[in-house]
Structure 1
């Protein structure tokens, strides 16, 4: 994770009218091209643009296993990434069907993403609850842009009880796409991985995780009904509301190995009321 240039110092006033200095997240556009065709302009914090472009195109079904990537070129002055392949790609019809998602910073998916799930079969990889507790504790203590500036989501690719790579962005969909791009670049296999996100487990998050081939998705936050329905459809282990010793599994419970005693895990205090959005 890199942080230089991703925040800006600003001055405001607090509730008492006193001056206060703080860091806020930078936000900038990134336009993604596939060969000669402009695909989308995403609002992002600006780090790892090549991973974001690769992951976005892969998760939208515009880059397939059979495609050979011949180059990924980033122009920092123009805020443009061009992904080049050795075959011709034309997506005019696909680009006509866009869906604005519920993601922060307004995500965009293309209307036929659900069709890509028809052939998805996720491995029935077992998940140990001891690993989940260890991961949650490690991730919550990891230095991050969220802890220093807020207004951001994090996504972590994990294996067993080990976080492998941590990505952040203003939209959780961007953070997931960066993970997908990193996996594609490093040729990392998804079969035994866990994807952890700080954001809500929406249909978009479930779809992207399934298309990446990752069998387990976990979060501190809650679920949407459609996200749960799709998780059942594709055989995804879906775990949310992971806070302290507590969690809820709404899909894939048979794949959980409960090898940790929740009573031995340090719990987080329950909030007396709902104050804002998770």
Structure 2
């Protein structure tokens, strides 16, 4: 279903007005005056792969099937070639079960795990670099005019981030068109939802851009590369390991994307500089935001 937001039509858009995603609370400000706020909900979601419990993630509760699928894919516990027979979600017990035809190697993956800097789930099973060796990303050109347009549209899209804060967003884009916009309390959850949607819809990755509000960490870079997406963009900053891995795999990595400004630390060869930065509005803040992230 196409959802119109501003001058763009998303295939999946944020739902800041969904009462299930936020809760009204009352507090006091620095002067002692009463303050009413909407705060983001957190709910546990337990993910199973066939009969095996894998992990319990804290999430806002939307798109649980995409989150379950994407988490298993991005941890290497599902292969892109796997045939998923069913994805069952039980709202009452907050559980999603992904069922496959073949027997998976999840026991081996569970035996070895690394804690990373991510919020919410934040755990990578197995070797973090597994699957990157020999990976070649497509050299799809990235026009700076498209990047400026995406930044302008995404930052003005009604979202939980603008309504309540304390949340991350990830947007799958093609050219200057945002396609799906996922949000969650953990940036990795938002990316996993995108991965689950792409798998479900058999969506190609070679012509896509992934835009995130979160930091460009090693795990964000690894997940984007393993999804086959050649360009990762954020309005936030970088970690050194994230930059190093992006350069190793040839990922175009762009951060600090605000108004006229951005910094590219990897994959410069894809950039087509077809827009004058001085002609772009210099927006250093997100207007309309009511809460703190």
User: Structure 1-normalised TM-score?
Assistant: 0.95
Q: Which moved more, 1:109-118 or 1:144-153?
A: 109-118
Q: Which moved more, 1:45-54 or 1:10-19?
A: 10-19
**Counterparts of 2:121 and 2:75, CA distance in 1:** 16
Deviation at 1:106, TM superposition (A): 5.3
**Counterparts of 1:106 and 1:74, CA distance in 2:** 19
- Segments of structure 1 that go 5 or more residues without pairing to the other structure are 271-276
Q: Which residue of 2 aligns with 1:182?
A: 197
- Segments of structure 2 that go 5 or more residues without pairing to the other structure are 1-13, 286-291
8 Å CA contact 1:124–1:235 kept in 2: the answer is no
Q: Which residue of 2 aligns with 1:245?
A: 260
Q: Which residue of 2 aligns with 1:219?
A: 234
Residues 1:19 and 2:34 aligned together: yes
8 Å CA contact 1:100–1:106 kept in 2: the answer is no
Deviation at 1:17, TM superposition (A): 0.8
Q: Which residue of 2 aligns with 1:144?
A: 159
Of 71, 86, 94, the residue aligned with 1:56 is: 71
**Counterparts of 2:265 and 2:200, CA distance in 1:** 32
The count of residues paired between Structure 1 and Structure 2 equals 272
User: Structure 2-normalised TM-score?
Assistant: 0.90
| Structure of higher RCO (CA pairs closer than 8 Å, 6+ residues apart) | 2
**Counterparts of 1:269 and 1:86, CA distance in 2:** 49
**Counterparts of 1:60 and 1:108, CA distance in 2:** 9
Q: Which residue of 2 aligns with 1:273?
A: none
Q: Which residue of 2 aligns with 1:125?
A: 140
CA RMSD of aligned residues (A): 1.4
Residues 1:45 and 2:36 aligned together: no
Q: Which residue of 1 aligns with 2:97?
A: 82
8 Å CA contact 2:121–2:188 kept in 1: the answer is no
**Counterparts of 1:264 and 1:151, CA distance in 2:** 32
Deviation at 1:269, TM superposition (A): 4.6
Deviation at 1:168, TM superposition (A): 0.2
Q: Which residue of 2 aligns with 1:165?
A: 180
8 Å CA contact 2:168–2:213 kept in 1: the answer is yes
